[in-house]
Amino acid sequence: MTLPSWQIVGGPNARTDYHINQTPEWFYQYRGAMLLKVVDGSTFRDIVIREGDMFLLPANTPHNPVRFANTVGIVLEQRRPADSIDRMRWYCTGQCGQEALAGTGEGAVVVHEAAFHCTDLGTQIKLAVEDFRADEAKRTCTRCGTVADWAPKPGSIRDPNLE
């Protein structure tokens, strides 16, 4: 029997990429609330996981975990099979992204996707983000020309701990 891997994760932490794992992920929020941004089909959704709550994220769901100051959560993942591929995906936040948020247009538009066999998630995510940040062509939407941000703008993400 293969035991799951687990991480204790504290905030603050915010990125613009959406991680795609081929296995489910289980979230438990120990202190404070977090925001789990997901792409459900072609629709962007925000899931608030409050202190004491659990959430099981289905496999292959693009997700962006946002953690705020003074919050702590636990994430359990299945060990990745040898042939599994993790992906990091960035979506258009310009005209295409606004149409997707409004439910008009064609839905979420992918600007860039990186794929890798995950052996060290923290290191590999950092490398993928740095690669995306350094290459404006990778950050440019081919539909509307918007250059995607590699990091969220300060104050652009609502903090459920302040509600």
pLDDT of residue 27: 99
The pLDDT tens digits of the residues spanning 137-149 come to 999 999 999 999 9
Q: Which domains does the chain have, with CATH numbers?
A: 5-150 (2.60.120.10)
What is the SS3 string spanning the chain? CCCCEEEEEECCECCCCEEECCCCEEEEEEECCEEEEEEECCEEEEEEECCCCEEEECCCCCEEEEECCCCEEEEEECCCCCCCCEEEEEECCCHHHHHHHHCCCCCCCEEEEEEECCCCHHHHHHHHHHHHHHCHHHHECCCCCCECCCCCCCCCCCCHHHC
Report pTM: 0.92
Per-residue pLDDT of 82-134, as tens digits, reads 899 999 999 998 888 777 777 777 789 999 999 999 888 889 989 999 999 99
Residue range 60-73: mean pLDDT, rounded: 97
